[in-house]
Structures are given as C-alpha cells and as structure tokens.
Amino acid sequence: MAAEVKNKPGLLVVGDEVFEGKLFGAVHEEPKKNIALGEVVFNTCMTGYQEILTDPSYAGQMVCFTTSHIGNTGANSEDMESQKIFAHGAIVSHYNVKPSNFRSEFTLDHFMKEQGRMGIHSVDTRALTLYLRDRGVTPGFMIPESERDQISELKKELVRQDYANTDWILKVTTREPYLVKAKKDARYQIVAYDYGIKGQLLRELSDRGCDVRVVPADFPAEKVLEMKPQGVFLSNGPGDPSLATYAVKNVKHLLGKVPLFGVCMGHQVLSMALGAQTYKLKFGHRGGNQPVKNLVTSRVEISSHNHGYAVDALTLPAIASVSHTNLNDECVEGISVPSLKAFSIQYHPESSPGPHDSSYLFDNFLNSLS
C-alpha cells in the first residue's frame, strides 16, 4: 500500500537546539494539532522500528533512530509489540517512501497516520544523537516550520508536561485482567504484572506452555496470591521506577511466597522491593547490541535494551547478588536472590539480536516454579 508523504517543512526543538526537517505521518491542517511533545531519546537498532514504536516502554518519548534509513521494510500487522504506537514521535534521517519487503502490508507513513502519530525526517540525526550524548536525554517537541513563532510558548508547555514526574506505567497498563493461553498443553499457571508489557514476552511464556493471567500494574498482591500462580512475572514499562510505589509494595508482599522473574522495569521494581535504589542514566541504553556478561557462566550475551534508569549496586541487600553486568559502563544488568526464588534482568531476553543468547532466562524461571 502506497501512502503520500506530505513533506511539510517542520522543526524539532530539543533544549536550546532547533533541527529542521520534514514532517510525515499524522500531519493535520489545524496548527494546534501539529504538535508532538516528549522526552527525546535515541535508539541504535539497525532494524525493528515498528517494534520500537509500539513498545509501551517508549510512552512519553520521541525516538531518534540512529540508523540512516527508516521505512525500508514498511510495516505489518504481525510485528506489533502492543495494540498501538506508544512512542510520541519518530525522528529519522532518511525516510524511504517505497518499502521493499515481502511482509510489508503498509508504509510506516500510513501506519503513523492511522495511529495519529507524527514523525520528522531529513533531520541531522547524527548531530542530534551527539547532542543527547553530551547533554543527556532532553525534552523536546516537533511542529510545522510555519509555527516557529510558537517555540517560546511550547517550551512552557513542555515544562508543564514533565516526563520525569509522570507515572507512565499507569497510563499504559491494562485496565482489566486478561488471559493469554498456552500455545500447547498448559503446564504452568503464571501471573504477569503489566507495567507496559511487550507482546513478545507473553509469546515466549505462552510458547513454553504457560497460561498467563495478565493483571494491571497496581493489582493487589493479595488477589494475585488468591489465584495460586506457580510464578509471577514482572514486565517492562516506561518512566521513573521510583514513582511506582504501588508496584514495589505489591512485590514486597510477594517476595518469598512465589517465584519471581523481572525484566527491565520489573528488574527495577524487584530491586526496590528488596531495598535498593535506582538512578537515571545520562542517555540510557536503547539498542540491540549491548554486551552483557553473565557473572555465573562468564559468557557474554549480545542483548536488546530500552531503559533510562538503572539499579545502584551499592544499595542492594546482602541476600541479593549481581548476576549480570554491562560491559560498556558496568551498570547492573541482573540480580539473583536464590533464598527467595527471585531474579531479574535489565535487558530484553525476548528480543533476538544475539539471536538467542538470553532465551535461557525464561527456562530458568520455569525451572524455579514449584
């Protein structure tokens, strides 16, 4: 399916910098609708832009793709990590109007129009990435070039919609529990907390014979235990983990009562439930080529990441040990608490840049179930 890209001149304002480009996606005729705001981050993945845009962990953020060409493979109905685009905007260097891939069903431009999301292309993404590496992730917005005189007012609006002080988990979590059935004979009954869960995580559990009952992020731990699950999965999600006090409270209640496995936000929530603290990384880890060392096996995994916060190793209690570290900056990538049958990792084992370096973690979780 072909879709017209209007190539309307646009501006991306990030901090004190203004980047010129051309708008695509949901570009409206009404000026007031032609605004996208969010924390600007960069992702170094060479592929998978559709999965990135539909990952709920990007809620409230505009993603700068560092790879040169975006749109080459189009988009399709299968490669969705959720029901919609959660990223607030896409920032690309060269946008390919005509995708060439046998799985393509529609163009990225068409997809973003349907989803009501705006993007900007022909941006100097190398300069933007260097800016973010130097200054750290920064709030920004994109608008038509014709609205340049509104920049000062929009900067005030950006302050009012502060990403860092918003609990994004409660904005993306499911409102009601739902069941994902095992793809084969159900051997395990799992409860998964939805902090912004990716579809592939559920598929990995379902493929391994799990019936997964997905519950809202603030679902009471007492009700989880009433379901008598064999294990509880703590999912990925967006925003500052320190705002998710309800999640930490629930996990504290579950510790020692049922095996726990946390991924990304779930890793941070589990760590805080144990008494640890988190901190914000300067520009985060977002990409598919992060080297992580398993300290138990000494093997290095090529892993997929999407997080802006990390666990402070010095604040972990004695019962928890660091199981994985990042070889780029030595931040904590995994913890293990054998006495409580709990462990977690900061990266995404369901993604496959390795391609299957980290899939053993799902098997480890199932092996821990009673």
Domain spans in the chain, listed from the N-terminal domain onward: 8-160, 169-367
Which of 39, 81, 204, 350 is labelled catalytic? 350
Q: What is the pLDDT of residue 1?
A: 45
Q: Is the per-residue pLDDT at 172 higher than 90? A: yes
Domain boundaries 169-367, corresponding CATH code: 3.40.50.880
Instruction: Look up residue 48 and give its DSSP letter.
Output: -
Q: What is the pLDDT of residue 353?
A: 64
Which of 88, 267, 307, 348 is labelled catalytic? 348
SS3 label, residue 305: strand
Strands 260-263 and 231-234 turn out to be parallel
Q: Which of 92, 95, 88 is nearest to 140 (CA)?
A: 88
Which of 264, 267, 285, 301 is labelled catalytic? 264
Residue with tokens 């969705």: 80
Q: Is 210 a catalytic residue?
A: no
Do 270 and 342 form a contact (C-beta atoms < 8 A)?
yes
Q: Is the per-residue pLDDT at 199 higher than 90? A: yes
Mean pLDDT of the chain: 94
pLDDT grade for 57, boundaries at 50, 70 and 90: very high
Q: Which of 81, 91, 84, 337 is nearest to 201 (CA)?
A: 81
SS3 label, residue 348: strand
Q: Is 331 a catalytic residue?
A: no
Q: What's the CA gap between 148 and 159, in Å, rounded?
A: 18
Q: Is 30 a catalytic residue?
A: no
Q: What is the pLDDT of residue 164?
A: 87
Architecture of the domain spanning 8-160: 3-Layer(bba) Sandwich (3.50)
**C-alpha to C-alpha distances, 61 to 155, 161, 220, 308, 368, nearest whole angstrom:** 16, 12, 29, 11, 36
Query: Quick check: do 8-160 and 169-367 share a fold?
Result: no
pTM score, whole prediction = 0.95
Helix 245-254, helix 265-273: angle, nearest 10: 70
Span 27-48, pLDDT tens digits: 876 656 678 999 999 999 999 9
Span 63-104, pLDDT tens digits: 999 999 999 999 999 999 999 999 999 999 999 999 999 999
Percent of the chain clearing pLDDT 70 (strictly above): 95
The mean pLDDT of 157-174, rounded to a whole number, is 91
The length of the chain, given as a count of residues: 370
Q: What is the pLDDT of residue 78?
A: 92
Span 256-275, pLDDT tens digits: 999 999 999 999 999 999 99
The mean pLDDT of 315-342, rounded to a whole number, is 97
